[in-house]
Structure 1
Amino acid sequence: MSIPEQESFISSIHPFESLTINQLELFVENIDIAYFKENEVIQKQNCEPTHLYFILKGLIQEKQEDEVLSLYSKNEIFDSISLIENYSKNVFITVEETICYILPRDIFIKTLHENSTLKNYFFQSISEKISNNINNENNKEMANIMVAKIKDAKIHKAVIIDTEKTIFEAASIIKKEKVPTVLLKDEKGEMYIVTDSDFRQKVILNRMDFDDKVIKIASKGLIYVNEDDFLFNAQLTMAKHGLKRVVVQNDKKEIVGILDQISLSSFFATNTFSVSNQIVKAETLEELKEASLSFIKIIRSLNAKGVKIEFIAKLINQLNKKLLDKLYVMLAPEELLGKSSLVVMGSEGRGEQILKTDQDNALILENDCTISDEKLQEFTTRFTETLVDFGFPRCEGNIMVSNPYWCRRESDFKDLIFEWVTQPSPDNFMNIAIFYDAVSVSGDRALILRLKEYLFKIIDNSQQFNSHFAKIISSFDVPLGFFDGFVFNSKDNKHKNELNIKKGGIFIIVQGMRSLSLEHKLYNTSTAKRIKRLNELGVIETELANEITMAFNFLTNINLKSNLEKLDKQEEVDNYINPNTLNTMEKDLLKESFKIVNKLKKKLEFHFKLNYV
């Protein structure tokens, strides 16, 4: 390679893009190229390392005795940790012929102390490392929309007129001011909005008199956002309320303009709003199904653009809720409307199901609901089958409205909850866990809140119950060995050399936060909100709360990335990943995330006294 090619190669490997020109030149001046045969030991165990290796070609194994801890391939480095500690606790051996650039340790250490970005990366805390990695990944595809403020987008001028203006006068003002909307303000200060489409759809189609007052075609109930809020939050607000525009205010509550969907599209090139609008306007099941099938496209687009996993989950959760609400209203018999509540549970209830993995739903009926059992079963069966047709797989545990066990009147659900709590068993604890995550997506939300209140009352601060509820955490092992190597299930031939991200990490975090939240009678359902609330209550210290949040987001994100790749290959979506397909940084952060999970697990075991249960 020429010197420019060497510089380009080194700076392409994170975090060495932060090297100054002089530091990069120093690297190039001091690197040598080294060739290694297959099965050649590059760095011995229990030695003082001499070089940092940049792999140009080949494959390297990091081993602890006979256990393979990591694999390193082209465009990766090893082993910075050994250089910093001046001790190599593992052996590094080639799997095939390998060519590396080698940089002397003293040059690496000298540069490390001179470059604050480099130093911070290699010495930062676990949560900072995970967070910075996520931010680095997000910035690869585009300037992360999460840092774009509403005021950075094109905001239309706010033109405010009084309610005495005629339709003709208002239309003339819109043309003169070259704006798509005008705001109206009455004597009491109530605000209204009239858009250019109102003139077309309400005035022309209804042949209204142009001398009629414009207030007749105005809409109220405006939604406001702050100009310093994130642009993505405006997107969420529009999707939630099915709006094409929101009113922008400053900190003084003064109106500064109108933000519309067209302005958003220049920052956020997905069809999220159109799909949300498609759901609202759907009049047939086919139209609703078409909207549902667009979700995966949105997920791919958001993920490719670097949008954070928690915001993808929020947006998809909003769309799912809107879809289920619309489907319920379209299919439900008249006897159910206003007398029931459709709830989603499990990961969907927590707002953490991004891809359509399964159905977890239930139906709560008011005690005086008059629908017959036959008619109810006919509806619930059709509802479940329609969701299957929409791409929502059946729940393997049959936790669906079509199962009469999960379709009851409020009083019957109370009896069921009483049984779950007073007759402890693995199935009953699982049912409590699923039900505790429930949120209403259609109908009377008060029904689920009353049942959760009843659940809290029955548990009644029972330490024995809380310990048994949390006990399942002890059944799940974090797949990380004593020497920080990944531990694989040797008995599972189907998933050889793969890790179950959900069982080994995500579930322990979810169940841990769920157990602590249930103990403190919290109504929050999402894991992120539970962590935040538990931190506010002093149950979890701030540093650990930040670490848990970062680990949870990283594990969820890497699981989503793996499953999107499986969908591309038309493979079955699951929770398994092969760590050897990850780059060095991802493997390191996966290990760090598992360390956080282990730390949390030990805290939970102590808190709930799980060793004595």
Structure 2
Amino acid sequence: MSLQEQKKFISSIHPFENLTLNELDDIAEAFDVVYFKEGTTVQSSQSEPKFLYFILKGLIQEKQEDEVLAVYSKNEIFDSASLIKNFSKNSFVTAQESICYTLPRELFMSILSQNQQLENYFFQSISEKLNNNILHEKNKDMANIMIAKVKDAKVHKAVIVNSKTSIYEAARVIKQEKIPTLLLKDDEGEMYIVTDSDFRQKVILNRMSFDEEVVKIASKGLVYINEDDFLFNAQLQMAKYGLKRVVVKNDEGTIVGILDQISLSSFFATNTFAVSNQIVKAETLEELKEASISFIKIIKSLNAKGVKIEFISKLINQLNKKLLDKLYRLMAPEELLDKSCLIVMGSEGRAEQILRTDQDNALIISDDCTISDEKLKEFTFNFTETLVDFGFPRCEGNIMVSNPYWCRKQSDFKDLIYKWINEPSGDHFMNIAIFYDALCVSGDINMIKELKTYLFKISSNSQSFYSNFAKIINSFDVPLGFFDGFVFNSKDENHKDEIDIKRGGIFILVQGIRALSLQNRIYNTNTIKRINALYELGLFEKETAKELVMAFNFLTSLKLKSNLEKLDLNQKIDNYINPNKLNTMEKDLLKDSFKIVNRLKKHLEFHFKLNYV
């Protein structure tokens, strides 16, 4: 490599893009190239390291005795931690023939002392690196909001009436169509616009007759914008002409709607408050469905603006709860409303479902409820079908209120829980896990609280129950291996270069924390809240709890980022990510997150004595 190519190579590896020009020159001049055969020990354990290695080619394994802890590949560095401590705890051995640049320790430490950004990075804990990377990535994604299109915002329906329509009739149309603006067209094709405020300010204050033509209070000089134009161009047009709204057309020149200043502002402010109000005010299923469609836009906007993944999930969970509560109240027979508890389970119950997957819900009915079986069956069927129409797919495992197994009296649920505990099986353990995550979204919350108290009571004396409940994590392997540091999916041709981030990381963490929380009678359903509760009980050290939270958030944010990209390409969302599409820092932090999950797994194996069940 030429000196210029070396500098470009160095700058491509995070966090060395923060080097000054002089520091970059110093490193490039100090570089030396070394070659290692396969099986060579590059750095021995219990030694004082002399170099920071930049990998040009090959694979390097970090090993503790015979156990491989991590794998480093092309465009990665190792081992900064050993250099800073001046002690190498583990050994580094080539898994393939490898070529590296070496940077002397003295120069590396000297530059660290001079460059605050590098020093901050290399002295951070894993949890701090994970957190700062999420913020770093969100700041980069802020640019995405600048390429949002007009059609991405809420465009009000365009209703056009004849300009000779009376003021009374025009006001009636505005109310009936539930729109803030009405378009008028005269016999010559001239277009006008009239708003709800025109009626207040011009008609009422001037005491105009309701029978006069509405064109008398309308405005001319409409400004048009294409639905595929950039949203910030619409903002510029409004500012340029001092307007509060523009008329939106498609490529054929047909008017498709009206974009107003409120919708524009709402888009850049994520539109959360407006959608929440829309749900509260909804009087029909169609109005409620329209509000639910906005959820994806909100998620994309929040993600682009740098909002942390845990806050996005909390916000979307609150909107989902409002939506389901309103839907239940609109649809449920009167006999059920005060005699039932609608619950959501699984990731939705844990407030961790961001993009909609399948339905996981159930209905607990008071023992003294008098609703007939036929009426209940009709309602639960319609409720499930309406959710499907809203974009919540049917649960493949049929865990829905329309399944009588998940719709029963409270005393019947107690019998069911007793059976799950005392007749252990794979399905029963799965049902316990799902039910333990249950969250009330409508109705009497005390019903689910009483059932969880009963669950804690009858399972409390059985250590073997908790061990068997936790044991499922041994069926899942953390995908850290020898090929580029990751074990890829080899069974499915569609995902051969990908890893299942849920099976290999998120599920192990969620189930492990769930098992500890169930054993310790924690009522919280959210994984992060459970981790914090376990820390308060003394089951985790502070740094361990912090690492678990940040690893969970990082894995979840990678999954969200991947699925948002798939949505943009009209692809099916799933749990797979391609590590080769990640930058060097993301790959490094993904490995760190998997290491944290692995440590939790080993802790659980010891705690629950999983090797003996």
Normalising by structure 1, what TM-score? Answer: 0.71
Deviation at 1:307, TM superposition (A): 1.0
Q: Is the 8 A contact 2:71 2:482 kept in 1?
A: no
Deviates more, 1:414-423 or 1:41-50: 41-50
- With over 3 angstroms needed to count, the CA separation of the structure-2 counterparts of 1:44 and 1:119, relative to structure 1, is farther
- Mapped to 2, the partners of 1:578 and 1:64 lie a distance apart of 21
Query: Given residue 59 of structure 2, which amino acid in structure 1 is its aligned partner?
Result: E
Could you tell me which residue of structure 1 aligns to residue 94 of structure 2? 90
Q: Is the 8 A contact 1:83 1:105 kept in 2?
A: no
Could you tell me which residue of structure 2 aligns to residue 62 of structure 1? 59
Deviation at 1:377, TM superposition (A): 0.9
Could you tell me which residue of structure 2 aligns to residue 283 of structure 1? 283
Q: SS where residue 336 of structure 1 aligns? A: helix
The answer to whether 1:469 aligns with 2:469 is yes
- Mapped to 1, the partners of 2:381 and 2:72 lie a distance apart of 49
Could you tell me which residue of structure 2 aligns to residue 138 of structure 1? 138
- With over 3 angstroms needed to count, the CA separation of the structure-2 counterparts of 1:54 and 1:270, relative to structure 1, is farther
Could you tell me which residue of structure 1 aligns to residue 423 of structure 2? 423
- With over 3 angstroms needed to count, the CA separation of the structure-2 counterparts of 1:489 and 1:11, relative to structure 1, is closer
- Mapped to 1, the partners of 2:97 and 2:270 lie a distance apart of 46
- Mapped to 2, the partners of 1:564 and 1:582 lie a distance apart of 15
Could you tell me which residue of structure 2 aligns to residue 487 of structure 1? 487
Could you tell me which residue of structure 2 aligns to residue 165 of structure 1? none
Q: SS where residue 490 of structure 1 aligns? A: coil
Task: Please give the per-residue CA displacement for 1:201-257, whole angstroms capped at 9, x wherever unaligned.
Answer: 9xx99x9xxxxxxxxxxxxxxxxxxxxxxxxxxxxxxxxxxxxxxxxxxxxxxxxxx
Could you tell me which residue of structure 2 aligns to residue 606 of structure 1? 606
Q: SS where residue 454 of structure 1 aligns? A: helix
Aligned residue runs from structure 1 range 219-258, under 5 A:
none
- Mapped to 2, the partners of 1:132 and 1:348 lie a distance apart of 27
- Mapped to 1, the partners of 2:392 and 2:455 lie a distance apart of 29
- Count of residues in correspondence between the two structures: 487
Could you tell me which residue of structure 2 aligns to residue 519 of structure 1? 519
Deviates more, 1:475-484 or 1:310-319: 475-484
Query: Given residue 396 of structure 1, which amino acid in structure 2 is its aligned partner?
Result: E
Query: Given residue 545 of structure 1, which amino acid in structure 2 is its aligned partner?
Result: A
Deviation at 1:457, TM superposition (A): 1.6
Deviates more, 1:515-524 or 1:106-115: 106-115
Deviation at 1:54, TM superposition (A): 9.1
Deviation at 1:129, TM superposition (A): 2.1
Deviation at 1:287, TM superposition (A): 1.6
Q: Is the 8 A contact 1:484 1:591 kept in 2?
A: no
Aligned residue runs from structure 1 range 89-128, under 5 A:
89-90=93-94, 104-105=103-104, 107-128=107-128
- Mapped to 1, the partners of 2:424 and 2:563 lie a distance apart of 35
- With over 3 angstroms needed to count, the CA separation of the structure-2 counterparts of 1:80 and 1:70, relative to structure 1, is closer
Q: Is the 8 A contact 1:50 1:83 kept in 2?
A: no
Q: SS where residue 334 of structure 2 aligns? A: coil
Task: Please give the per-residue CA displacement for 1:46-81, whole angstroms capped at 9, x wherever unaligned.
Answer: 3479776598xxxx553669x995664xxx554565
- Mapped to 2, the partners of 1:71 and 1:88 lie a distance apart of 12
- Mapped to 2, the partners of 1:520 and 1:317 lie a distance apart of 25
Query: Given residue 433 of structure 2, which amino acid in structure 1 is its aligned partner?
Result: A
Could you tell me which residue of structure 2 aligns to residue 399 of structure 1? 399
- With over 3 angstroms needed to count, the CA separation of the structure-2 counterparts of 1:607 and 1:64, relative to structure 1, is closer
Could you tell me which residue of structure 2 aligns to residue 450 of structure 1? 450
Deviation at 1:563, TM superposition (A): 1.1
The answer to whether 1:576 aligns with 2:576 is yes
Gaps of 5+ in 2: 44-49, 63-67, 144-196, 208-260
- With over 3 angstroms needed to count, the CA separation of the structure-2 counterparts of 1:80 and 1:267, relative to structure 1, is farther
Task: Please give the per-residue CA displacement for 1:548-571, whole angstroms capped at 9, x wherever unaligned.
Answer: 111111111111111111112222
Could you tell me which residue of structure 2 aligns to residue 352 of structure 1? 352
Task: Please give the per-residue CA displacement for 1:113-166, whole angstroms capped at 9, x wherever unaligned.
Answer: 5435424423533222222222322333459xxxxxxxxxxxxxxxxxxxxxxx
Aligned residue runs from structure 1 range 10-29, under 5 A:
14-20=14-20, 22-24=22-24, 26-27=26-27
Query: Given residue 454 of structure 1, which amino acid in structure 2 is its aligned partner?
Result: Y
Could you tell me which residue of structure 2 aligns to residue 183 of structure 1? none
Gaps of 5+ in 1: 144-196, 208-260
Query: Given residue 382 of structure 2, which amino acid in structure 1 is its aligned partner?
Result: R
Deviation at 1:338, TM superposition (A): 0.9
Query: Given residue 89 of structure 1, which amino acid in structure 2 is its aligned partner?
Result: V
Q: Is the 8 A contact 2:59 2:484 kept in 1?
A: no
Query: Given residue 357 of structure 1, which amino acid in structure 2 is its aligned partner?
Result: T
Deviation at 1:460, TM superposition (A): 2.8
Deviation at 1:42, TM superposition (A): 10
Q: Is the 8 A contact 1:82 1:89 kept in 2?
A: no
Query: Given residue 566 of structure 1, which amino acid in structure 2 is its aligned partner?
Result: K
Deviation at 1:20, TM superposition (A): 4.8
Percent identical among aligned pairs is 67
Deviation at 1:25, TM superposition (A): 5.1
Deviation at 1:382, TM superposition (A): 0.8
Q: Is the 8 A contact 1:478 1:505 kept in 2?
A: yes
Query: Given residue 354 of structure 2, which amino acid in structure 1 is its aligned partner?
Result: I
The answer to whether 1:409 aligns with 2:404 is no
- With over 3 angstroms needed to count, the CA separation of the structure-2 counterparts of 1:407 and 1:486, relative to structure 1, is same
Could you tell me which residue of structure 2 aligns to residue 336 of structure 1? 336
- With over 3 angstroms needed to count, the CA separation of the structure-2 counterparts of 1:267 and 1:470, relative to structure 1, is same
Aligned residue runs from structure 1 range 378-393, under 5 A:
378-393=378-393
Could you tell me which residue of structure 2 aligns to residue 160 of structure 1? none
Query: Given residue 520 of structure 1, which amino acid in structure 2 is its aligned partner?
Result: N
Q: SS where residue 335 of structure 1 aligns? A: helix
Aligned residue runs from structure 1 range 210-221, under 5 A:
none
Q: Is the 8 A contact 1:367 1:409 kept in 2?
A: yes
- Mapped to 2, the partners of 1:403 and 1:129 lie a distance apart of 45
Q: Is the 8 A contact 1:64 1:483 kept in 2?
A: no
Query: Given residue 329 of structure 2, which amino acid in structure 1 is its aligned partner?
Result: V
- Mapped to 2, the partners of 1:382 and 1:321 lie a distance apart of 19
Deviation at 1:281, TM superposition (A): 1.4
- Mapped to 2, the partners of 1:54 and 1:421 lie a distance apart of 53
- Mapped to 2, the partners of 1:276 and 1:456 lie a distance apart of 35
- With over 3 angstroms needed to count, the CA separation of the structure-2 counterparts of 1:591 and 1:13, relative to structure 1, is closer
Q: Is the 8 A contact 2:30 2:104 kept in 1?
A: no
- Mapped to 2, the partners of 1:7 and 1:274 lie a distance apart of 50
- Mapped to 2, the partners of 1:133 and 1:23 lie a distance apart of 23
Deviates more, 1:449-458 or 1:132-141: 132-141
Deviation at 1:398, TM superposition (A): 0.5
- Mapped to 2, the partners of 1:477 and 1:54 lie a distance apart of 27
Superposition CA RMSD, Å:
3.9
- With over 3 angstroms needed to count, the CA separation of the structure-2 counterparts of 1:274 and 1:5, relative to structure 1, is farther
Q: SS where residue 93 of structure 2 aligns? A: coil
- Mapped to 1, the partners of 2:321 and 2:571 lie a distance apart of 27
- With over 3 angstroms needed to count, the CA separation of the structure-2 counterparts of 1:119 and 1:265, relative to structure 1, is same
- With over 3 angstroms needed to count, the CA separation of the structure-2 counterparts of 1:83 and 1:545, relative to structure 1, is closer
Could you tell me which residue of structure 1 aligns to residue 249 of structure 2? none
Query: Given residue 463 of structure 2, which amino acid in structure 1 is its aligned partner?
Result: Q
Deviates more, 1:558-567 or 1:11-20: 11-20
